[in-house]
Amino acid sequence: MRERIAAIVRKVPEQVRGMFDGLRLQTGALPEIPAPPQMQRQGQLDLGLPVATPNPEAVARHARTEALKRHARAVDAVFTAQDQGQQATPEQHRELADARKAFEAVRPHGWRDAEAAYANDPSLAADAARGRVNRAIRALQTETEVRTNPRSRADRFVQRWQELDTMSTVQYQAGDMSGHKATRAAMGDMAKSLMRDPQLESLLANRKHELGIMMNSGRSLGAELAFNHGIDIGRGRGLGL
């Protein structure tokens, strides 16, 4: 019998036998290979089993986060160009406009609130552009509260003005004229913004003392701020197209 088996084996071509050299076949049932997700879902439907559906709120939250990150990347690109003393390119302006539209579609006023936060702290945009969105989200929510609550807006204006006024004085005394100039430009932007915001100007009418205005000259509040603090109503860092 052994001689017959050996003779049969010798008749099998060497290349065929080599294909199976070292292969160990396991006895018993073969392991089950999982079906692709779409086939699993179809199988569940065929069996009448419940199929998990995406959570609408989770989907919406993901869309808002992605829009936030895209917008932050566009803003950070513009800020980086400005920091390098350059103008943003037309492509960067177009991407910013498109990112604003995409953000607006999933969160109305979201890009405006985000840019208000980034203007106060540009590092928020840099972080969000790289996927670190937690700080940016908290700042955006704060800006939303300020935008929708008039009294909060007035409080924010007074707080920010006082901070900049103090910073300007410290920079001047330290001889940091570049920083002093930038701070004064930011104060000029704030004064100018009141000309476009009669509601906020009205809310601040009884808080002039907190803004450093000791006498009423009959000017508008924005012009009064500029006059009393000796600043030009100019343009600071911005994202206007």
pLDDT digits (tens, 9 = 90+) for 115-143: 999 988 999 999 999 999 999 999 999 99
Q: Are residues 91 and 174 in the same domain?
A: no
Could you tell me the residue range of the domain that residue 96 belongs to?
A: 57-148
Q: Are residues 139 and 194 in the same domain?
A: no
Q: Would residue 30 count as lying in a domain?
A: no
How far apart are alpha carbons 18 and 24 in whole angstroms?
13
Domain boundary among 131, 148, 165: 148
Q: Would residue 171 count as lying in a domain?
A: yes
Q: Are residues 211 and 175 in the same domain?
A: yes
Which token pair is 108?
């109305």
Q: Would residue 120 count as lying in a domain?
A: yes
How far is Cα of residue 92 from the mean position of the Cα atoms in its chain? 16
Q: Would residue 234 count as lying in a domain?
A: no
Q: Are residues 118 and 68 in the same domain?
A: yes
- pLDDT at residue number 100: 97
pLDDT over 80 at 28, yes or no: no
- pLDDT at residue number 14: 47
Domain boundary among 103, 122, 148: 148
Total count of domains within the chain: 2
* Whole-angstrom Cα Rg for the chain: 33
How far apart are alpha carbons 89 and 78 in whole angstroms?
8
Q: Are residues 166 and 106 in the same domain?
A: no
Q: What DSSP character marks residue 30?
A: P
Q: Would residue 196 count as lying in a domain?
A: yes
Domain boundary among 122, 148, 174: 148
Q: What DSSP character marks residue 185?
A: H
Q: Whole-prediction pTM value?
A: 0.60
The pLDDT-based confidence of 62 (bands split at 50, 70, 90) is: very high
Q: Would residue 43 count as lying in a domain?
A: no
Identify the CA nearest to 136 among candidates 186, 64, 60.
Answer: 64
The pLDDT-based confidence of 216 (bands split at 50, 70, 90) is: confident
Q: Are residues 182 and 131 in the same domain?
A: no
* Dihedral sign of CA atoms 214, 204, 145, 232 in order: negative
Q: Would residue 7 count as lying in a domain?
A: no
**Is the Cβ–Cβ distance between 194 and 204 less than 8 Å?**
yes
Identify the CA nearest to 164 among candidates 196, 139, 191.
Answer: 191
Burial class (CB in 10 A: 0-12, 13-18, 19+), 142: middle
The pLDDT-based confidence of 161 (bands split at 50, 70, 90) is: very high
Write the CA distances from 193 to 82, 100, 209, 240, integer angstroms: 21, 21, 19, 14
pLDDT over 50 at 206, yes or no: yes
